[in-house]
Amino acid sequence: MAKCDEGYLCEVCGQDVASLVESDLYLRYVIGMLDPEVLHTQQERHIRCNPTLAQFIVDEKFEPVVADGDFDKRALDPQFVHQREQLVTRGWHRLRELVHMDLPIIEYPLPEVTHKIRRRSGYEE
């Protein structure tokens, strides 16, 4: 079976990442943690299979995740945690919006991320 026919399997649990809203790969892309040039080379996983990032989603529609160990947000600087929660939660909301939109992939990221990508690429408006 061709890779494109297999779907996107989570590198952690091996199950299908069936929805954009579950995609750690696209969440990282939307919030600027992943450059669009390498998006196609990265492994996929469920957001929940990456607790280090998932713990920062704060929304009643997302069951909280705890990341035990050194990267547990409860042990991190409160200002950093607040900023990261704001960014990652906005990114997750963006994924939920994208499911209902027909946009080119280059327009998926949050506005400030898109601006940075364009500035780096020399396409600043």
For the chain, domain boundaries? 3-119
User: Rounded CA gap, 16 and 10, in Å?
Assistant: 6
Contact yes or no for 36/43 (Cβ under 8 A): no
User: Rounded CA gap, 53 and 123, in Å?
Assistant: 30
Give per-residue pLDDT as tens, 18-39: 999 999 999 999 999 998 888 8
Give per-residue pLDDT as tens, 51-79: 999 999 999 999 999 999 999 999 999 99
Nearest to 29 by CA among 92, 101, 96, 97: 92
Tell me, what's the pLDDT at 65?
97
Give per-residue pLDDT as tens, 86-100: 999 999 999 999 999
Give the CA distances from residue 21 to residues 9, 42, 110, 125, in Å, rounded to whole numbers and listed in that order. 14, 17, 15, 30
Contact yes or no for 95/26 (Cβ under 8 A): yes
